[in-house]
Amino acid sequence: MPSTEEKISARDRLAVALDYPDETQALALVDRLGQTCHWYKVGMELYYALGNRIVHELRDRGFSVFLDLKLHDIPNTVAGAVRSATQAGASLLTIHASGGAAMMSAAAIAASTPGSPRLLAVTVLTSMDAHELSGIGIHDSPEKQALRLAKLAQQSGITGMVCSPEEVAMLRKETGPGTLLVVPGIRPTGSAVEDQKRVATPASAIADGASLLVVGRPITRAADPATAAESILAEIEHAAEKLKN
């Protein structure tokens, strides 16, 4: 995945979330989208149902895979999971930054071998707000917690983070142009927010410095998913062009 300073097409800035329980539904969407998108996110629901088979299928079709497993365990276990995930052929893999420095450092070492996915440290989930954080004993704002975890991830050797649209501008400024910032919680104007609490439009997220946008239901539940994806790609392209001028 190129850094934000490199020329990158709109297709390389959008990852469609295949949040389905089975292969039939997931690949039906892939077939409907055709070559509209280059990246697909495979999360826990689909991966736990199919394992590496779905990653291999997407790779065989020429797509890049973002494996969103949010690994969070003791350092040795997470390092082993990273090594196992490498065999799947995914290009990106998430771990939870809240697992701590030792866990992230172990994961970074495990991901240093050729062919390993680039690691992304998940900061604060987009479904969480200040009230939710307070319930687990974190009394800082989501922004402060995201920055704390992002800096810890960098110190642990991880150069990619997942953050909400509300933190992306701050993290871009604080972590530098080479950091890969992956942003879920993207909702085109008029879309339902649903269970996300910290959201933004594609244009505003790109303007704030996002590298890769993750979009699920606004595409997957659209009457015409390809048209919905093309509309988002056009918004990404327009926002990226404005940044150049």
HEC profile of 76-118: HHHHHHHHHHHCCCCCEEEEEHHHCHHHHHHHHHHCCCCCCCE
At 118 the pLDDT is 97
Residue 3 in contact with residue 180, Cβ under 8 Å? Answer: yes
Domain boundaries, the chain: 10-244
Give tens-digit pLDDT for 168-212. Answer: 999 999 999 999 999 998 988 655 545 445 568 999 999 999 999
Q: What is the pLDDT of residues 86-132, one digit of tens each?
A: 988 999 999 999 999 999 999 999 999 999 999 999 999 888 889 98
Specify the pLDDT at position 3. 45
Mean pLDDT of 213-232: 94
Weakest-pLDDT range from 45-49, 62-66, 140-144, 157-161: 140-144
- Our answer to whether residue 70 is catalytic in this structure is yes
Q: What is the bridge-based pairing of β-strands 39-43 and 14-17?
A: parallel
CATH 3.40.50.720 assigned to domain 10-244? The reply is: no
Query: Which one of 7, 41, 70, 244 is the catalytic residue?
Result: 70
Mapped to the 3 state alphabet, what secondary structure does 122-136 carry? ECCCCCCCHHHHHHC
Q: Rounded to whole angstroms, how far apart are CA atoms 157 and 177?
A: 16
Task: Tell me the two tokens of residue 206.
Answer: 């790109």
The pTM assigned to this predicted structure is 0.90
Residue 7 is predicted with a pLDDT of: 61
Q: How confident is the model at residue 16 (pLDDT cuts 50, 70, 90)?
A: very high
